[in-house]
A and B are shown apart, each in its own frame.
Chain A
């Protein structure tokens, strides 16, 4: 009886809420004149629309649509293909990269893309010292022997440098247009550049789209660049409609209010029904991990290598995947995602309570200990971090480790992790381009990396793993099998550090109306808008 009553209540609840959602979605999106409009339901995390300052998942999509890059990433997510650069040469020790520009390449205003624009863009990206400035790390000079040739010189060998240039954050800006709007590439660009606001209302690129308008927390509107020198996009206009959560995105998609939604979690995706909506479940390179702050000020016990390994052995990885994404994901042993160079054949992480207890006893912690976990209270890539940490909390209880969970807002978490440090935290990461070097630069226990600092290397220097810097240097100076071998060795070292413990790499749900085609996930650019079209 109780079952029947509750089931009826559920139907009523769902019907009522669907009705409200449909009413809410009734506000029409203004359609472009003389062409079709693509509507994307998305929770936009935009921090800026200036390629030298923007750094977010939505920015990857938008910047790739507005600004062409020197090179592109093929649909196999591995092969670098020509874009603005028709060809390139790399010297033997991979320190000098010479690009020949495609003579047909133009900006949206019709002017030619010239070597000076590439030099100006890269120097500005470096000098503005914004979040994506690390793309230019190691660049010592950008020379322009002629209007169609760019020579980039690096301080050290980097076989992955060219991969970086496929990321939308390195999109080429029309220097004349941007400079007229107050942008500068000079050494003092971090202070002298005044164009950040201008970029929120205008674009100055040569990509397949141009920026029409952006209203934070409302919508972002792009128009097709009809003068595009490459293959023109099908849609005359693309609108990103701010849609906060997965359920609302699914309902908009179901009702026809949106054409594409790519932040729908697995549980919600199961509710999508009928022939009007299609869902592709694909593996992604995104992942969520816990990180241990060996040098955090508030540690109650020293997080020695044995204690860190014990923590990693106490986690039920399969259970985490099951409880966070209903099994629709995969485990990832090292901070380098599976499928990236060096990850083939890495040993899987697994649960071994007996060994964990032995290690804790060896560390004098046979009765367990208390540890505080502070993490951003977010729901990313379909995973509720709060839920994930409750599972970790339960798992660690089995070896006597009592975890206190403290969810925090992102700014509070950021201040804490970059200040006194956090004993245990949980975060997420998505790639910016195809290449393993980015993960070493961010996660490896090498002096100066983000996570070496956050793990408390200043207070606990023992977290630094001297082998890793050496292995990265060798990997970036080599290619092919040798590079694979070095990245593999580096990944093993990062696994043994047990500072970064990946928990789940969730599958991605690409949900779209069934008359839409060309929707795919790109490792550099998230969702290539220009490839999307409507079936005839």
Chain B
């Protein structure tokens, strides 16, 4: 009997049994938005990492006559100071991508940590942390970010600090809700009954089950951070000149409306990166969140 039961498994090709579906089949199972989003985001990440090796004109230095329309020598034209718009647009990724990743990473770290503590400990600690969250979320994000940036002074680092302050409460609230749900499960009670310490219970038995919504939310937020950073730079609270930051480039282009190409490059960059992150986040949610199915 035993032999007859085990025989079909033995008859399967060994390689299939070990590695599962082929890469091509697995790729086909990935939703199209995730593929598109992933590709676009990957493009910008690679650009941010390698653009300085592409041999483009210096984004800070004058590269030709001012306000030249797109041509073969300047594919996206030149700005009011004669700098190559394509070069500045691509170099913009060096600032926007790390800011997006940095702000979301720090926001997730702070928010998730405080949210987990609030959800697990409860009581007064929970009350204090969640009231702080409520107060922060009571302000419109752009207004709060503007106020903090204006107080700290212009600059990308200060803009990033302002955005982290705006962003962490979202993750705190999300993580707290997850922890509250998971800590009531039987395996957690079993771990506590077995004498596991608080840190072990939280770190090994609860948190690993809470990350999915955080990850999905974070992916969606990357695009929002890019947009907010560009908005702060647009109104002069973000990058200092002559940094080729997309928001400040659009601001310069807005003053020269009829030289449309000055704002076109950074505008397209923001559009593609934000859309890319949104597609990726949407797709990941469809794949990972059982409630969305």
Question: Which A positions have Cβ atoms within 8 angstroms of B?
Answer: 2-3, 6-7, 9-10, 13-14, 17, 245-247, 265, 267-268, 270-271, 322-323, 326, 377, 379, 384, 386-387, 389-391, 393-394, 404-409
Contacts and interface: CB of A to CB of B under 8 A. Distances in A.
B124 interface: no
Contact of B82 (A7, A267, A323, A405): A323
Nearest to A12: B260
Nearest to B60: A394
A182 B79 CA distance: 53
Of B241, B242, B254, the most chain A CB neighbours within 10 A belong to B241
A390 B66 contact: no
A408 B154 CA distance: 8
Contacts of A323: 66, 80-82
A326 B76 CA distance: 20
A384 B69 contact: no
B292 interface: no
Contact of A405 (B62, B80, B240, B256): B240
A407 B154 contact: yes
Given A7-B70, A246-B255, A323-B81, A407 B241 contact: yes
The binding surface of chain A is classed by DSSP as: helix
A394 B241 CA distance: 11
A271 B258 contact: yes
Contacts of A326: 66-67
Contact of A13 (B67, B76, B260): B260
B7 interface: no
B43 interface: no
B69 A7 contact: yes
Contact of A6 (B70, B255, B257): B70
Interface in B226-262: 236, 240-242, 252, 254-261
A326 B252 CA distance: 15
Contacts of A394: 60-62, 81, 242
A252 to B, nearest CB: 13
The binding surface of chain B is classed by DSSP as: loop
Contacts of B72: 3
Contact of B264 (A13, A265, A384): A13
> Would you list the 3 A-B pairs with minimal beta carbon distance, nearest first?
A247-B257, A271-B258, A10-B260
Contacts of A265: 255
B15 interface: no
A404 B153 CA distance: 14
A405 B258 contact: no
Contacts of B2: none
14 contacts: A6-B261, A10-B260, A13-B260, A247-B255, A267-B67, A322-B66, A323-B81, A386-B252, A390-B242, A393-B241, A394-B61, A394-B242, A406-B240, A407-B154
A413 to B, nearest CB: 12
Contacts of A10: 260-261, 264
Contacts of A3: 70-72
B75 interface: yes
Given A10-B261, A387-B81, A406-B153, 10 more contacts: A6-B70, A13-B264, A245-B254, A265-B255, A268-B256, A268-B257, A391-B81, A394-B81, A406-B154, A406-B240
Interface string B144-176: 000000100110000000000000000000000
Contacts of A6: 70, 76, 261, 264
A210 B46 CA distance: 64
A387 B154 contact: no
Contacts of B261: 6, 10
